[in-house]
Chain A
Amino acid sequence: CIKDLDRKPFNEVTSATVYNDPAAYKQVAAKLYAGMMLTGQQGPAGDDRTKDIKGMDEGFSSYLRNYWYLQVLPTDEAVIAWSDAGLPEINYMKWSSNNAFIRGFYNRVFYQIASCNEFIRETSDAKLNERGVSGTILTETKALRAEARFLRALSYWHALDLFGGNVPFVTENDAVGSAPPKQTNAKSLFEYIESELKAIDGELVDARKNEYARADKAAAWMLLAKLYLNAEAQGQGNRYADAATYAKKVIDAGYSLQTKYEDLFKADNNTSTEVIWALAADGTRSQTWGGMTFLCHAPVGGSMPASAYGIDGGWGGVRVTPSFVKLFADPTGKTDKRAMFYTDGQKLEINELSTFTDGYAMPKFKNVTSAGKVGSNLTHPDTDFPMFRLADAYLIYAEAASRGAGDKTLALDYVNKIRARAYGSAAGNITSSELTPDFVLAERARELSWEGSRRTDLIRYGKFTGASYLWAWKGGVKDGAGVQDYLKIFPLPSTDLTANPNLVQNTGY
């Protein structure tokens, strides 16, 4: 009866046998994509056994939601009403290494990296050969392996951008349960991401040829463009020319702008010709309290009619700051349609973070299709999150050009394409002399608001920290106060400093 102690699980499969079924490769790869937004193996939320990130409320543990918190809340783009422990500190830029949301994002990043490593390890040429994988499955698995390397590079880029690159470094060569990894640095990590993205260029599916919601060559180019655009700000030298080169590769790949700006954020945005790579949500099959459920519900409150946004009710959380509203010459939305503010009963000024009606609301993401049809579920939207889209590539090119690397005429054309869509005419078009770096920064805010790039953009322009640019509740003061430069990167969470004695905390924390 001692043999009975060798029990095997019923619902789970052991690692020894999982790949006996070749279909498993795609299911495991699907988890890597799901990891960007969903929070566990049971949607919208399960228990400790089913959720991915332990020790945290499941709805808070979404990659997208945490990324959004850290990239948007410490900027002029948003304030949030909720007083969840550590959340106001993100708005106030008063975070410490014990902050739950910083820890949550960091854990997500490394969960994603570890998961990608596992897949890359299990799909090595040697292992595929050993298991006799061949034909179309072999071709597809190799593409999926390249996509896993793309996803890993993306997470490492987030680690570089948000944590300064001073993070543990693990690849497929580090087995599960191995010794605490060494700490890398911005330079090494930058070079690693660059080399990975270039290395997979040949293995990824051609631009616009892959299945929906999967990364292709253009997604990798987009990430390279972003890497180069921010290189100087991250101390890796002026690489604007490379940024322009890769943005141009994306632009030339055949994408076209969505006709109506607002349709980019609606329940049928999966049909968009502008989106390069999106995180797929679905009201019935891909549910989470993080991701798009958060982005569609949190900005709705006050007197806003929830049903108009295809949801069952608002969560009364997120609004924009007056500084953000001022980026629009006309905040009514009548001229520039990207000013999607809801002002009825809302005050412009934010006296209290916790009062939803302080600050203009912005129902940008909606669970309604471009034809006005409500999504499949009132709680969980069908709306996808556009991670990379053509307008961003245009603006990267324009910024590089305005900084002297690239064709300025072409850049002006790109910017005016975006402006013309926003205004519905040429009324908003700018001239060549108006195309300055600062203009691009403001235009990025108008075009890409709440899409998760504002913090990175402000840092690139030196406006995130210091006192040169203030907005409501920056530094924890109603009218805004200057903050110290060390806040440009987040602290490594104290939990990992304990778990990994190789780590040294970021300066200032």
Chain B
Amino acid sequence: TTRGTQTDADGNFKIAAPSSATLVFSFVGMTSQEVAINNRTQLSVTLQNDNKQLAEVVVIGYGTQRKKDLTGSIASITTADFNKGNIATPDQLVAGKVAGVQITPNGGAPGAGSTIRIRGGASLNASNDPLIVIDGVPLDNTTINGAANPLSLINPNDIESFNILKDASATAIYGSRASNGVIMITTKKGKKGDVMRVNLSTQASVGLKTGLVDVLSGDDFRALVNKYGTATQKTLLGKTNTDWQNEVYRAAVSTDNNLSITGAFKNTPYRVSVGYTNQNGILKTSNMGRTSASVGLTPMLLDNHLKIDINVKAASIKNKFANQGAIGAAASFDPTQPVYSGTEAYGGYYEWVNADGKPNTIATRNPLGLLNLTDDRATVNRSIGNAQFDYKFHFLPELHANLNVGYDVSRSDGKKVIPALAASNFSNGGEKTVYTQDRTNKLLDFYLNYVKDLTKDTRLDLMAGYSYQDFMNSTTTITKDEAETKTLNDSPYKTQNTLVSFFGRANLNVQDRYLLTLTLRRDGSSRFAKENRWGTFPSAAFAWKISEMDFLKSSSVISDLKLRVGYGVTGQQDVGQNFAYLARYTPSTATAQQLLGTTYYNTLRAEGYNANIKWEQTVTQNVGLDFAFKKARLSGSIDYYMKNTSDLLNVVPVAAGTNLTNEILSNVGSIENKGLELLLNHNTISREDFTLDLGFNATYNENKITKLTSANDPNYKGVLVGGISGGVGSTIQIHSVGYPASSFFVAQQVYDASGKPVEGVYVDKNGDGKITVDDYYHYKSPAPRVFIGFNAQATYKKLSAGFVLRGNFGNYVYNNILSTNGVLQAFQGANNSLGNVVPNVLTTLFATPQYFSDYYMQNGSFLRMDNAFAGYDLGKIFGGKSTARLSATVQNVFVITKYTGLNPEVSGGIDNNIYPIPRTFTLGLNIGF
């Protein structure tokens, strides 16, 4: 029989036990220790800290696995390693921490998310986002209307661990959704035998802008216009000096408070938490308020044969979106004009007007007018929950049955109002847009798991299951003028898709030395026609724990050495459309009607379709070595991978006349990603009152398109992508065979003897005497060749401190702000108005925009200190009843780069008035009792 007790606050305990028994001592965060009583009546035990304990068991798809038994490439990050500071969305917890995983913030707006890429992108047109699974519920990670980012509805404080599945042998169990990796998120839970603990954390931060786009001051601008402008333009100049960028930004104060209660009630460990976050953005008027709550119950019933895991997470976000058009407007609004006009027109804001006093519709709008006369709010409620029942059969304890039912539901209500008096929507009489979104996703998984020691040395773990997931999404958008007299747009939309899967896995462990994993998944997706509906995704992986071999077992140097080899096929079914295969007709909205006679008809459009559309398929090969050295205190891993995606979905031109569209999504291309990942952890100092741990990771990734069209025509240049500002429909990037995806596609600038770019003169690559798109060439890519993360954590007595550095190398950025605002034409704003320019114009003296010049390409390599923190353990307070910890964090500490714009880290590589990322200072207090 088993019996137990708990120690008092000082660690003393009593227990009645047979003299031959063995006692097991355990405590959260410590290594459990077994001590045989051996007839003693008193014994004292010191438990060792174990930071890795939580990582010992790794969550994989449909089950868990001991970390040392893994055969795939899986990175595991837990709370202790999370980034600190004012973090509003979960993705930011692990930025810079994992080799092969690139997390690029999408700007500094409250709740803005990140672009997550695991080992490069495997797709061009389909989604490149990894699958995110939270407590066993695969999320629909598409946009939630009214939320800056779907992950912003998950409170990072509730998260216990991230397990990132990178290679196909790990991800293939998720089959058709796994091509871009899988992120398994597990939330915090109570544990068996826990006493009730309450944790209260509170933090306050202030975010400050790190810089401004370099533009001319009012005086410099007057000088420029007086030198280069026409007489009319000179008369347009104002008399003031307004720094528009200073006007639109502010110091942004944010707070974050969380309360959690963890414990166990009899057989039911629990955790309950509530949180409230209020984030202000540095762009005036932007704000996010999030209230979140979570409940986790993990009861053990039926004599521990039935393990239940219930998770319910709910969040309600109130967003106020700033009109981000103000960012670009602030950089280009005439700095000689005042903020306010002194009249009541247009809300009192100075605006460019026509001779008749009406707003000049194509001039830049007053940035503050854009901000203050836009009221754009949304409330989004989202809940994710599941109940997982794991039943160990009484008559056959090797067999488990596992049932998981889950949901992910969100409701959005948004309203955007621009008053009729605002210059921006003056001719429409303002705008009132009301929108809603309902998303209901349902999940049911069932699997059987059989674990059996076949012999003393051979252990078999078999799993087979079924999964059903359904995604329903409906939206409404009604746009009217402010007075609601006319409907400008009314477009309801509803769509659904469903996935049905069968899957299985076999793990074989021989002598704890040889590990074999085989998985197989068969997926059916409603997104494809019957003939292509089903796909099969197998994988195999083998690991050899060399350190368990006799010749190394007693080594004093090496403590762990494991070789992993894996192969697998995964797919991508998120093709962006749910009915791309089906012949269908779409009705037009009220604003796209056709008059015939005296009646306006809502037209019916026959849609183009591709009956043959099917999955993308990615074959991944991975070779990895895990190692740990005893004396050197060094551990880590190195992985080489190769990912080949075939049947790549690409939007290709259809032979004209053969379909009801000019371009269609087809499975025609191939893309290849290969790379090397290195992870090193060094336990540099490990004394009782002084520790220092260093972590380093580096990733080299090479991305290359190997095929794009079914015909593979050598004359086919590729698909133009990467829309820029300046010229409607202009693009700066191209997907071409033989080059990385989204390579820049530019004209080669010619320079004069003094090194000044000559306006409009480019290298005539094909020598035909004219400069056309045929002379453009492929120039670098926005994806870094190498990216690294480096982090250090030290503790000295009650003090702890650390930092995270992150760097990208070989990524290029197109400076779209320079190319649009760095020309003389830019100051002669549209239609008798003026617009500010960047000082670069004084170098180039370009008269007209040279959008496609490689002059505007810049190396975006950088090294950024993402995060620096210090903490102080106040120890026991309130008479020993509680513990407390103080912390201070700075985020976005510094960036070292040659890039001349505001921020070299631009997802997609086109820098164009992105919401700037602030530097944030945070103070936090954590109390436990």
Interface residues of A (CB under 8 A from B): 1-2, 4-7, 9-16, 18, 24, 26-31, 33-34, 38, 40-44, 46, 49-50, 52-57, 59-60, 82-87, 89, 94-96, 98-100, 106-107, 110-111, 113-115, 117-119, 167-170, 174, 176-181, 211-214, 280, 282, 284-288, 301-303, 305-307, 312-316, 345, 352, 354, 356, 377-379, 476, 494-501
Contacts and interface: CB of A to CB of B under 8 A. Distances in A.
The 7 closest A-B pairs by CB, nearest first: A211-B597, A313-B361, A57-B729, A43-B591, A312-B427, A43-B592, A180-B655
Main secondary structure of the interface of A (DSSP, over half): loop
Given A4-B498, A302-B832, A305-B354, A212 B655 contact: no
Contacts of A110: 656-657, 662
B593 A285 contact: yes
Contact of A24 (B232, B495, B604): B604
Contacts of A302: 831-832
Given A31-B603, A60-B728, A313-B360, A10 B494 contact: yes
Contacts of A33: 594, 596
Interface string B636-661: 00000000000000011111111111
A486 B69 CA distance: 71
B45 interface: no
Contacts of B852: 85
A18 B586 CA distance: 10
A28 B584 CA distance: 12
B580 to A, nearest CB: 10
B770 interface: yes
A208 to B, nearest CB: 13
B870 interface: no
A83 B849 contact: yes
B605 A52 contact: yes
Given A7-B497, A42-B591, A53-B662, A213 B597 contact: yes
Given A14-B584, A499-B653, A501-B711, A170 B603 contact: no
B354 A168 contact: no
Interface stretch (B255-263, B411-419, B606-614): B606-614
A11 B604 contact: no
B707 to A, nearest CB: 13
B551 interface: no
B660 A41 contact: no
Contact of B594 (A119, A170, A280): A280
Interface centre among B470, B595, B612, B832 (most CB of A within 10 A): B595
A499 B655 contact: yes
A496 B656 CA distance: 6
10 contacts: A12-B586, A12-B607, A24-B585, A27-B602, A41-B589, A107-B662, A170-B658, A180-B655, A284-B486, A286-B592
Contact of A287 (B361, B426, B591, B825): B591
Interface string B322-334: 0000000000000
Given A14-B582, A42-B489, 10 more contacts: A9-B582, A30-B593, A34-B592, A57-B728, A82-B727, A100-B729, A110-B662, A212-B595, A214-B596, A282-B593
Interface stretch (B94-102, B175-183, B563-571, B713-721): B713-721
A1 B584 CA distance: 24
A496 to B, nearest CB: 5
A113 B589 CA distance: 23
Nearest to B716: A498
Contacts of A4: 468, 470, 498, 500, 526
B728 A312 contact: no
A38 B594 contact: yes
A181 B358 contact: no
Nearest to B352: A313
Interface in B837-870: 847-849, 851-852
Given A26-B601, A499-B653, A313 B526 contact: no
B583 A15 contact: yes
A9 B604 contact: no
Given A2-B500, A34-B603, A46-B491, A312 B591 contact: no
B360 A282 contact: no
Contacts of B591: 42-44, 284-287
**In this complex, which of A46, A107, A177 has the most chain B Cβ atoms within 10 angstroms of its Cβ?**
A177
Given A41-B587, A41-B605, A107-B656, A494 B715 contact: yes
A38 B525 contact: no
A98 B651 contact: no
B894 interface: no
B524 A84 contact: no
Given A12-B607, A38-B592, A54-B651, A94 B495 contact: no
A71 B489 CA distance: 33
Contact of B600 (A285, A495, A499, A501): A285
Given A7-B578, A211-B597, A307 B356 contact: yes
Interface string B725-764: 0011111000000000000000000000000000000000
A41 B603 CA distance: 8
Contacts of B597: 211-214
Interface in B137-181: none
A13 B358 contact: no
B585 A28 contact: yes
Output the residue of B596, B609, B612, B657 with the most chain A CB within 10 A: B657
Contact of A83 (B427, B586, B727): B727
Contacts of A53: 662
Nearest to B661: A54
A211 B597 CA distance: 4
Contacts of A286: 591-595, 600
B524 A2 contact: yes
Given A7-B497, A498-B653, A43 B355 contact: no
A284 to B, nearest CB: 6
A31 B596 CA distance: 11
Nearest to A379: B427
Contact of B657 (A49, A50, A181, A315): A181
A280 B592 CA distance: 11
Contacts of B497: 7
Contacts of A94: 770, 772
B246 interface: no
Contact of B728 (A59, A117, A179): A59
B493 interface: yes
Interface string B690-733: 00000000000000000001010101110110000001111100
B504 interface: no
Given A10-B496, A96-B772, A114 B586 contact: no
A484 to B, nearest CB: 12
Contacts of B492: 11
* Chain A CB within 10 Å, residue with most, of B494, B653, B711, B772: B653
Interface in B497-511: 497-498, 500
B358 A313 contact: yes
A43 B593 CA distance: 8
Contact of A13 (B428, B495, B526, B584): B584
A366 B600 CA distance: 22
A10 to B, nearest CB: 4
B773 A86 contact: yes
A206 B470 CA distance: 55
A111 B601 contact: no
Given A2-B524, A5-B500, A500-B656, A18 B662 contact: no
A7 B655 contact: no
A305 B360 CA distance: 11
Given A4-B526, A499-B652, A307 B658 contact: no
B822 to A, nearest CB: 14
Contacts of B533: 5
A55 B655 CA distance: 15
Nearest to A495: B653
A96 B468 CA distance: 52
Contact of A30 (B586, B601, B611, B774): B601
Nearest to B771: A94
Contacts of B489: 42
